[in-house]
Amino acid sequence: MVKNDDKFSIEDTKAVIESGKNQSHINYSLLILDQCLDTYTVDELFLSFNGGKDCTVILHLTAALLKLRGLSPLKCLYVTEDPFPEMDEFVDKASQYYEIKLIRKKKPIKTAVASLLEEDKNLKATLMGIRKDDPGSQSLEPFKYTDADWPKIMRVSPILNWSYSQIWEFILKHQVPYCSLYDQGYTSLGNKTSTSPNPLLRDPDNPARYLPAYKLKDSSTERNGRQ
């Protein structure tokens, strides 16, 4: 789903800030992003963006703070490895809606990051849509350098402590644009050949259809459609 509005607006910004006053997980994420923007310039920062729900939430949060600060749009790295056409379409529309500077690379993520850092020596940090529910992410902190076998860059993870349901609550409340695959029963997006709709969302009244991702009750089954 992509909103009909042409661009992310100051009204969207105000709504995000207001939510931060009332919900601690949103407030904490905004504090992390504020700290990030106090530490790094926009030219030193990029978002690892694959069109998934988590990094889209970060894009929305960051867009709000950038607009408040009067800063230029964010750079976003989109690494394509056998992508769904729907993901490509959404990323294109999101790049227009948020006015981001989209960088495409058709390589494995580690190689793509290395290539980007070689091309742009200013880059020092990357925003990551990682949550502690993700495999291997339990020990992550909001600010942490990449592992030794990766190109060295600061990883900034503003939504580490968000739950699956909090992600969707934010998306639906703020009318955040999202990839149409989530309306087709996909709950976690990866490569086209290794990702299927979540079987737990098969419509009991019509087995040929799937319920949307935000209908999933058990967050521990989020990756049930991934191989």
What digits encode the pLDDT tens for the residues 181-218? 999 999 999 889 889 999 999 999 998 999 999 999 99
Alpha-helical runs (H) found in 84-213: 85-97, 109-119, 164-173
In order of 114, 163, 169, 207, 225, the CA distances from 102 in angstroms are 17, 27, 27, 38, 28
CB 176 within 8 A of CB 60: yes
Angle, helix 53-69 to helix 164-173, in steps of 10 degrees: 50
For residues 158-181, b (16+ Cβ closer than 10 Å) or e, as one string?
A: bbbebebebbbbbbeebebbbbeb
The pLDDT-based confidence of 3 (bands split at 50, 70, 90) is: low
Planar angle of CA 84, 88, 94, nearest 5 degrees: 135
The percentage of residues in the chain with a pLDDT greater than 90, rounded to a whole number, is: 85
Q: What tens digit of pLDDT does each residue of 112-136 get?
A: 999 999 999 999 999 999 998 877 7
Q: What tens digit of pLDDT does each residue of 18-56 get?
A: 999 999 999 999 999 999 999 999 999 999 999 999 999
Mean pLDDT of 73-95: 93
What is the DSSP secondary structure assignment for residue 210, as one 8-state letter?
B
Give the pLDDT score at 227.
75
Q: Which domains does the chain have, with CATH numbers?
A: 10-156 (3.40.50.620)
**Model confidence, pTM:** 0.94
